[in-house]
């Protein structure tokens, strides 16, 4: 993983931790945490198929979730990771 990719991925992991922490007190963070875990695992294992990750991002938009600025930031980092 290149240095710039690593920076994006480290931030994605940090945001995933944020979703996890907040999911303990607000159920609307659970879908975001679940999606972030799946996406991060795909990237970390080198199985980062863009189409699978896009599918996960689309699926979460069809269910109720927090959808605040942290989720927007996470999605921007995912897109930036693949645009490098």
Average pLDDT over residues 10-17: 96
Instruction: Tell me how far CA of residue 80 lies from CA of 60, 74, 84, in angstroms.
Output: 19, 10, 6
Per-residue pLDDT at 2: 77
Dist CA 49 CA 73 (whole Å): 20
What pTM does this model have? 0.91
Per-residue pLDDT at 20: 98
Average pLDDT over residues 14-22: 98
Residue with tokens 């109720």: 64
Per-residue pLDDT at 84: 59
pLDDT in tens, 21-74: 999 999 999 999 999 999 999 998 886 688 999 999 999 999 999 999 999 999
């Amino acid at each position: 993983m290149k240095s710039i990719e690593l920076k994006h991925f480290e931030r994605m992991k940090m945001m995933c931790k944020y979703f996890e922490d907040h999911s303990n007190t607000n159920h609307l963070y659970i879908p975001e945490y679940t999606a972030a875990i799946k996406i991060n695992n795909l990237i970390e294992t080198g199985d980062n198929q863009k189409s699978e990750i896009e599918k996960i991002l689309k699926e979460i938009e069809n269910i109720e979730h927090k959808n605040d600025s942290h989720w927007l930031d996470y999605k921007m980092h995912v897109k930036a990771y693949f645009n490098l």
